[in-house]
Amino acid sequence: MASAAGSSNLMLAIHEKKTTPTDLYRPLRLYIASAYSEREAASADDDLSAVRDLRAAVEQPSLPDPSSLEQRRDALLAYARALALVEPRFPISPDRAHVHSLTFTWHDAFKGNKKCALASIHLEKAAVLFNLGAVYSQIALAADRSTDVGIRTACGAFQSAAGAFAWLRESGVAAKAVAAGATTVDVSPECAGMLEKLMLAQAQECFFEKVIAGGKPPALCSKVARQVGIFYEEAYAALSAPPLSQHFDKTWVSHVQLKAAQFYADACYRYSLDLHEKEEIAEEIARLKIGMSALADAKKAAKGVAAQLLDSVNKLESNMKTNLERAMKENDRVYLMRVPAAGSLGALPAASLVKPTSLAEVLDASKERLFSSLVPDGSMKALSKYTEMVDNIIRMQAEKLQQASEITRVRLKEMDLPDSILSLEGNIALPLDLKEDVEAVQISGGPAGLDSELQQLRDLRRVNQELLVQTEELLQKEANEDAQFRTQFGSRWTRPQSSTLTKNIQDRLNLFAANIKKAADSDSLIERGVKENYPLMSILDKRPIESALPSISRPIMSLDGNEDAIVGALKQSLRQLESLGAQRAGLEDMLKEMKRKDDILPKLMAGVGSHDDLFKKEIAKYDSICAEIGDNIVAQEQLLLQIQAQNEQFAAVFNIEDYKAARERCYKQIAAAVAKYREIKKNINEGLNFYVTLQEAIGKIKQQCSDFIMTRNIQCREMIEDVQRKLAGFNFSSSSHSSMQRNASVPPDQSSPSPPPHAQAPYAAPPGGDSRPGYSQPEPRPAYSQPYPPSYGAPPQQPPYGAPHPGQYQQPPHQPPPGHDYGQPAYPGWRGPYYNAHQPQPQQPGPYPQPPYNAPGAYPPHQSNYYRPQ
């Protein structure tokens, strides 16, 4: 993996940050002597030595065996507790009068060539917490997960590692380190958050291994796997965003990305097993396809991942493919259920079985005796007590504010406010998801654009039909010319008849024609569907779509003419309610800011007065904000009652209930129109794809026919010359010879080039000779340099003509191999699967994809609605 991590059984561990030796004893002792007295420095000598030894233990490299790792963990915890006692007593900070000659240096865990040297206790604490999380991850990785004890150990250690990184982020240590000037990314809050999610993902993965080994039901396994994927997805999102996106090795990113896709796919796989047991075959097919697609996308982007992980992913993909094929066969033969679209499926359920382990207890330094003579323990306890009092105030007030905001939201939704007011003013809005669907339809052309797409279908069908006719005419012309010479020369015309050589071509052309006819029937069904459903879909052509929605109209007759006053009073009350909500948000921010700035440690250390008096005075700072929060909540309750009464009057005057019913009907109509449009659009697109693919296939056959005819013309000229030589050998009369020359002087195809000046090679040769005839023509060569390769799967036939003459012209090395037979099918596709679904003989692989119009029903091999009546 990366330089800062190792992998075992497809999991990662974090390497520790490295540091340089630092002497804490002398700088801290000098500070005590200067700030307090030499007597205090002498009494703290043992404590200073203990801190120095703890720091020296942290500086030593760790060993990989489990017992050494546990000792390393204990040393880091002891030093972290010591730092908690050092921080309030010694001002080790670059922006304060700090301890002289004390600088901490730490290297980046992921890029060892980067380091940070800073006189900051926050950098030291952040580095120690980071290393604590790293050691916990190494303990987890060292555990033998094939046993119950090992898997429990690994799971607990990963959660403890997550707890260390969470503490680094949530306690503010990472943020303070960055604020103090820490320049390495590994101790940033963003990196701590990413590592927390990564450790939770691996802890949850341990649970997944346990439930799989225990043979738990597929539904439970799917929930556990989905949560593993969610944790990996969160870690991958953090790795893909600054400042981490350019910091980590690509193998890290690829590993986490592939893991996220693997467990999402595994969740789909396990969920599909449960669906299969319930005979919900359609959703099973959809879930398997979604999972396989996620795996395929992730594998494309994965680079440098461990081979073991790739093997695991490939095995999962193979199992999903097997189940998908089984489910599709069962659905086609038995269930005949419509496979839902991926977007229509809900999110897979997840079950989180892990959380970061709190390190508050193991990091609690309240029982430590370090520097107790320098700073009384009572001061530390007092500070903790005050902090707890402030936290309680903040928590209680924040809960009140959140509850008030939730009450407002629920009450307004029950009264359909402010939507009904906006509708009255003409500011009507569709639900967001429905509006996005309509916008997508309109961008693609809308129902009004379907006519042009239907015309494209007709045009493409016509082009394919014309290509077929042209190809058949080429073959027929060549056959007629061959028959003419066969009649003229009789038994001397010994080459094979055209019909025997073009039978396979003609069969395929017939199949193409049949498929075009079937496609035309499907096109008719689509056109009928468009015509029948256009009244439903026409609503999607309205721009903006909101103009199709009903609106609240003023009453035709008014008894007292106070409609405007009712609306104005309701709007004014809503504005007041909005103002109260903004005030609550400001009060919550004020509370948090006051807590952030509330630091009574200097006053506690000064020891002026009793702690209780100090607490009472300091806590009073929050009274005014608490009072404002209470007033805000009371005002909101009164205003909501007023709005309720005003809304009832408004609803009665403007007949709001009828408006709501009409609006819901319109929503349903739009949703139905979108669904029908998508269905028709999908069928049209499949038809267009079919015709484009078919046009390419027919074009290739037409080219092959042209090459075939060109070759037959060359054969024709050579055979005429051969016959002439034979006739000359019989010493016919000059008149007969002239008659023969006149009959043979005009070639069958006027457009064919003149024969080359040298002797042409025959169309098959004995083994060892080059049998390809020369194509030295004045016109360009056809697109296919080898239009007639040996038949795929067919044995070579004997050449129709004799061996080459002495001194015969040899072709360049790119020509076909010896034994090439032009009596074989002209190109591999003639025996390929394209449009040959109904032929009984075995088929050879062809160069074209299976067309969607070939099999009965929909577009095999995938499911389609193209032949389904609209």
Residue type, 699: G
Contact between 679 and 741 (Cβ < 8 Å): no
Q: Is residue 348 part of a domain?
A: yes
Residues 538 and 601 in one domain: no
Q: Is residue 369 part of a domain?
A: no
Q: Which of 215, 249, 276 is the last residue of a domain?
A: 215
Residues 134 and 242 in one domain: no
> For residue range 761-815, what is the model confidence (pLDDT) as tens digits?
333 333 333 333 333 333 333 333 333 333 333 333 333 333 333 333 333 333 3
CA distance 512 to 832: 13
Q: Is residue 823 part of a domain?
A: no
Nearest to 168 by CA among 153, 181, 178: 178
What would the two tokens of residue 629 be?
Answer: 């929060």
Residues 71 and 157 in one domain: yes
Residue 558 pLDDT greater than 70, yes or no:
no
Q: Is residue 828 part of a domain?
A: no
Nearest to 829 by CA among 735, 705, 727: 705
- CATH number of 448's domain: 1.20.140.50
Residues 47 and 139 in one domain: yes
DSSP label at residue 334: I
Q: Residues 36-56: what's their mean pLDDT?
A: 90
Q: What is the 3-state secondary structure (H, E, C) of 412-479?
A: HHHCCCCHHHHHHCCCCCCCHHHHHHHHHHHHCCCHHHHHHHHHHHHHHHHHHHHHHHHHHHHHHHHH
- CATH number of 337's domain: 1.25.40.280
Which residues are registered as beta bridge partners of 107? 115
Helices and strands, counts by H and E, the chain: 24, 4
Give the pLDDT band (50/70/90) at residue 524. very high
Number of domains in the chain: 4
- Which of 288-292, 370-374, 835-839 is the most confident on average? 288-292
Residues 115 and 131 in one domain: yes
Q: Is residue 318 part of a domain?
A: yes
CA distance 193 to 174: 10
CA distance 601 to 856: 83
Q: Residues 101-113: what's their mean pLDDT?
A: 89
Residues 117 and 191 in one domain: yes
Nearest to 354 by CA among 200, 230, 124, 245: 200
Residues 103 and 191 in one domain: yes
Q: Is residue 860 part of a domain?
A: no
DSSP-derived 3-state class of residue 452 = helix
Coarse DSSP helix, strand, coil percentages of the chain, rounded to the nearest 5 percent: 65, 0, 35
* pLDDT reported for residue 182: 78
Domain that holds residue 229: 216-354
Name every residue whose Cβ is closer than 8 Å to that of residue 74 and which is 6 or more positions away in sequence.
none
Residues 573 and 595 in one domain: yes
Residues 200 and 222 in one domain: no
> For residue range 636-647, what is the model confidence (pLDDT) as tens digits?
999 999 988 888
Q: Is residue 350 part of a domain?
A: yes
Residues 210 and 222 in one domain: no
Residue 415 pLDDT greater than 80, yes or no:
yes
Which residues are registered as beta bridge partners of 118? 104
> For residue range 486-516, what is the model confidence (pLDDT) as tens digits?
888 888 888 888 888 888 998 999 999 999 9
Give the pLDDT band (50/70/90) at residue 98. low
> For residue range 600-613, what is the model confidence (pLDDT) as tens digits?
765 564 444 467 77
What would the two tokens of residue 348 be?
Answer: 């897979």
> For residue range 322-336, what is the model confidence (pLDDT) as tens digits?
999 999 999 888 888
CA distance 135 to 14: 8
What would the two tokens of residue 226 be?
Answer: 């989905």
Give the pLDDT band (50/70/90) at residue 237. very high
Nearest to 132 by CA among 16, 53, 27, 251: 16
Name every residue whose Cβ is closer than 8 Å to that of residue 262 and which is 6 or more positions away in sequence.
229, 295, 298, 309, 312, 313, 316
DSSP label at residue 374: T
Contact between 55 and 24 (Cβ < 8 Å): yes
CA distance 22 to 117: 11
Q: Which of 673, 707, 725 is the last residue of a domain?
A: 725
> For residue range 707-743, what is the model confidence (pLDDT) as tens digits?
999 998 998 988 888 888 887 876 444 444 444 444 4
* pLDDT reported for residue 848: 38
DSSP-derived 3-state class of residue 162 = helix
**Can you tell me which residue has the tokens 């008014």?**
558
Q: Which of 708, 725, 742 is the last residue of a domain?
A: 725
* pLDDT reported for residue 560: 59
CA distance 88 to 517: 88
Contact between 286 and 340 (Cβ < 8 Å): yes
> For residue range 672-683, what is the model confidence (pLDDT) as tens digits?
999 989 999 999
Mean pLDDT of the chain: 79
Q: Residues 533-553: what's their mean pLDDT?
A: 80
DSSP H or E segment with residue 7: strand 5-8
Residues 60 and 127 in one domain: yes
Give the pLDDT band (50/70/90) at residue 658. confident
In percent, how much of the chain has pLDDT > 70?
A: 79
Residues 140 and 206 in one domain: yes
* pLDDT reported for residue 537: 87
- CATH number of 621's domain: 1.20.120.560
Contact between 584 and 629 (Cβ < 8 Å): yes
CA distance 686 to 680: 10
CA distance 713 to 226: 67
**Predicted TM-score (pTM) above 0.75:** no
> For residue range 348-399, what is the model confidence (pLDDT) as tens digits?
999 999 999 999 889 887 677 788 767 555 666 777 888 888 889 888 988 9
Give the pLDDT band (50/70/90) at residue 816. very low
